[in-house]
Amino acid sequence: MDFLPVSREDMEKRGIRQFDFVYIIGDAYVDHPSFGHAIISRLLESRGYSVGIISQPDWHDPESIAVYGEPRLGFLVSSGNMDSMVNHYTVSKKRRSSDAFTPGGVMGKRPDHAVVVYCGLVRRKYKHTPLIIGGIEASLRRLAHYDYWSDSLKRSILLDSGADLISYGMGERSIVEIADALNSGIAVKDITFVPGTVFKTRDRSILYDYLELPSYEELKKDKLNYAKSFYTQYCNTDPFSGKRLAEPYDGQLVVVQNPPARPLSREEMDQVYALPYQRAYHPSYEALGGVPAIQEVKFSLVSSRGCFGGCSFCALTFHQGRIIQARSQESIIKESKKMTEDPDFKGYIHDVGGPTADFRHPACDKQLTKGACPGRQCLFPEPCKNLRITHREYLELLRKLRALPKVKKVFIRSGIRFDYLIYDRDETFFRELVQHHVSGQLKVAPEHVADRVLLRMGKPRHAVYQKFADRYKELNRQCGKNQFLVPYLMSSHPGSTMKEAVELAEYLRDLGYMPEQVQDFYPTPSTISTCMYYTGVDPRTMEKVYVPVNPHEKAMQRALIQYRDPKNYELVAEALRIAHRTDLIGYDKKCLIRPAKETGRRAQPGNSRGTSGAPLAKAGSGGPKKRTIRNVHKKARK
């Protein structure tokens, strides 16, 4: 088995006169199961369909997508493993200098809004060939969505791209069903029945059992309409309970989202990851310096997908879903043995996990037949009484991996859900995590320390993280280890006023820690947090939310997290004046910064308003105990 064809020469060597599908991707071609295009192309190949890859075509030239001629069944288009806009721009909208998914890390080999641009090339050359889009960029823009980079509400990407169908989410089921339908002679316009797809129609008579969302025109008129529409979408992301959604546009046109595809069984997951991947980038990239992104995953193992954590700023609910799908231990062990035979393997498995490493089974038995609960979370703000809290199966897997010949160490780097871990009464996994699976530092994601902000983030109260951190320190002491926690922190999330930003800075001061990197909140499509950023309300409750949108205010909140950095002095001093916390400017050990030297920079009293003109909100008093989202926020208001 070899790589899939990437050129006309490859096509001719294989004796292929016409491909069934031509797959246009915004990434370099990497035949590894951590890359979506590899999974989809290998899966189609396993079902007897031929696939030709066009990687990073010249988007200025329509001929660049015509190198194979017209495919028999259709074009597939994806921006790649990342959203092209996130790939290109920082949260401050500055152009990034490198692209890990391009040979040599070169920036600029794909266009902004890559899916729309690539589809434009196809439609200029082939007016009527079926065109199916998928991947993260298409999936999270499947209905009307807020676009941070243009600060506007955009239409469904299905309309802007001119595509016929969107295969959204993890598309193994939907892409095979689409391929089989096209192969049987069904016209692409009549493929309206596949779960996990979005189509457009002017014939409402074909719709049944659906919810009608506000029209695009209504969404543009009132942001509150968008908040309501978004939450309806959020509550219908489950494959068992989700309804069909219809979003009207001008005239009779309707964009219709079918319910999500059913999750893969363990056997189906095993089959997907047993496909004949080369586990490497295409050899033609070697002379260009290779593809940097492979380094993070080459010696890592994907054990699961999906996440029931439900963080507000994460799009996993919309893309992979809340139901955990996991591979069998046998499948993972088989892949790991093959991996150890690689001549570059040095004895270290870099990761064993998924979106959340220690989620290896559905949150509860009910999810396997009835799906995840709409309007409720499994872990937030307190663990559901039906939540299965156990690490036994994951621990068993890790022990087997550690025992393999040639394996020196097995690390866990994809993220441990610290609240889930601390709720486990059996501490065996926690202890073995400390003993065997930390490479000096364990990265976790508390995100913030102010309960008022954590409430909006969908994260547990700070006291839960502190309990975890204290226990981690004690277990390290008991095991004779000197390993540290590296907390991921986020600035400027909706709900964070300057008051909460200072609270976070004080916590870091007391901890004696200054993060090298800070994530300023990035409003990417299809998250609750992005909806809050755009509308100013929490779509779960329609409560108003303070949102830092002014770039200068965001810079101040970010600077507070790194208050020790001299270049942040002026921003920190201004932030402290605005928050009425000039008591933190001085020589006391509790102060964040010293007074400015006598150069005209002495701190002056501030006023009670932020730079965006909104009054500073009062900090919250802790997390409530009710499990429904609406009651959580109701209690927070009291």
User: Is the previous residue joined to 381 through a cis bond, with omega within 30 degrees of 0?
Assistant: yes
- Please tell me the pTM assigned to this model: 0.91
Question: Is 600 a residue whose pLDDT tops 50?
Answer: no
Q: Kindly state the helix (H) or strand (E) to which residue 552 belongs, with its residue range.
A: helix 551-561
Coil, strand, or helix at residue 487?
strand
CATH code matching the domain that covers 8-197, chosen among 3.40.50.2300, 3.40.30.10, 3.30.70.20, 3.40.190.10: 3.40.50.2300
pLDDT band at 626 (very low <50, low <70, confident <90, very high): very low
Give 215's DSSP letter: P
What is the CA 587 to chain-centroid distance, rounded?
A: 42
Query: Are residues 268 and 293 in contact, defined by beta-carbon separation less than 8 angstroms?
Result: no
Reported as a single tens digit per residue, the pLDDT across 528-572 is: 999 999 999 999 999 999 999 999 999 999 999 999 999 999 999
Helices 569-578 and 551-561, packing angle to 10 deg? 110
Which phi-psi region, left, alpha or beta, contains residue 606 (left: φ > 0; alpha: ψ -120 to 50)? beta
Distance of alpha carbon 77 from alpha carbon 113, whole angstroms: 12
| Torsion sign, CA atoms 494, 499, 502, 504 | negative
Give 585's DSSP letter: B
Burial class (CB in 10 A: 0-12, 13-18, 19+), 607: exposed
Other C-beta atoms lying within 10 Å of the C-beta of residue 619: 14
Average pLDDT, the chain: 92
Reported as a single tens digit per residue, the pLDDT across 505-532 is: 999 999 998 888 889 999 999 999 999 9
Query: Are residues 310 and 380 in contact, defined by beta-carbon separation less than 8 angstroms?
Result: yes
pLDDT for the residue numbered 610: 36
Query: Are residues 169 and 322 in contact, defined by beta-carbon separation less than 8 angstroms?
Result: no
> Which among 519, 568, 561 is positioned nearest to 91, based on CA atoms?
519
Structure tokens, 315: 């799009």
| Torsion sign, CA atoms 493, 497, 498, 504 | negative
pLDDT for the residue numbered 10: 96
Query: Are residues 473 and 445 in contact, defined by beta-carbon separation less than 8 angstroms?
Result: no
Beta strands in 157-263 (DSSP E): 165-167, 197-201, 210-212, 244-248, 254-257
Helices 329-340 and 392-402, packing angle to 10 deg? 20
DSSP string computed for 38-77:
HHHHHHHHHTT--EEEEES--TT-GGGG-TT---SSEEEE
Burial class (CB in 10 A: 0-12, 13-18, 19+), 12: exposed
User: Between the CA of residue 110 and those of 25, 51, 84, 113, 201, what are the distances in Å?
Assistant: 9, 21, 8, 9, 31
Distance of alpha carbon 436 from alpha carbon 362, whole angstroms: 26
CA 117, 122, 127, 132: dihedral to nearest 10 degrees?
A: -90
Query: Are residues 470 and 323 in contact, defined by beta-carbon separation less than 8 angstroms?
Result: no
In the 3-class helix/strand/coil scheme, how is 334-376 assigned residue by residue? Answer: HHHHHHHCCCCCCCEECEEECCCCCCCCCCCCCHHHHCCCCCE
pLDDT for the residue numbered 272: 97
Helices 569-578 and 498-511, packing angle to 10 deg? 120
pLDDT for the residue numbered 439: 87
Helices 223-234 and 528-535, packing angle to 10 deg? 170
Distance of alpha carbon 446 from alpha carbon 627, whole angstroms: 20
Question: Is 270 a residue whose pLDDT tops 50?
Answer: yes
Give 25's DSSP letter: E
The domain limits of the chain are: 8-197
Distance of alpha carbon 140 from alpha carbon 137, whole angstroms: 6
Lowest pLDDT segment from 139-143, 169-173, 375-379? 375-379
Looking only at the bridges linking them, the beta strands covering 51-55 and 21-25 are parallel
CA 315, 318, 323, 326: dihedral to nearest 10 degrees?
A: -70
Measured in degrees and rounded to the nearest 5, phi and psi for residue 447 equal 75, -40
First CA to last CA across the chain, in angstroms? 64
pLDDT band at 1 (very low <50, low <70, confident <90, very high): low
What mean pLDDT do residues 96-113 have? Answer: 97
pLDDT for the residue numbered 615: 35
Distance of alpha carbon 552 from alpha carbon 558, whole angstroms: 10
pLDDT band at 118 (very low <50, low <70, confident <90, very high): very high
Distance of alpha carbon 568 from alpha carbon 501, whole angstroms: 14
pLDDT for the residue numbered 415: 83
pLDDT for the residue numbered 613: 34
Reported as a single tens digit per residue, the pLDDT across 160-172 is: 999 999 999 999 9
Reported as a single tens digit per residue, the pLDDT across 467-488 is: 999 999 999 999 999 999 999 9
Distance of alpha carbon 594 from alpha carbon 81, whole angstroms: 45
Query: Are residues 458 and 494 in contact, defined by beta-carbon separation less than 8 angstroms?
Result: no
Reported as a single tens digit per residue, the pLDDT across 432-473 is: 999 999 988 999 999 999 999 999 999 999 999 999 999 999
Which phi-psi region, left, alpha or beta, contains residue 168 (left: φ > 0; alpha: ψ -120 to 50)? beta
Query: Are residues 451 and 620 in contact, defined by beta-carbon separation less than 8 angstroms?
Result: yes
User: To the nearest whole percent, how much of the chain has pLDDT over 70?
Assistant: 93
What is the CA 474 to chain-centroid distance, rounded?
A: 32
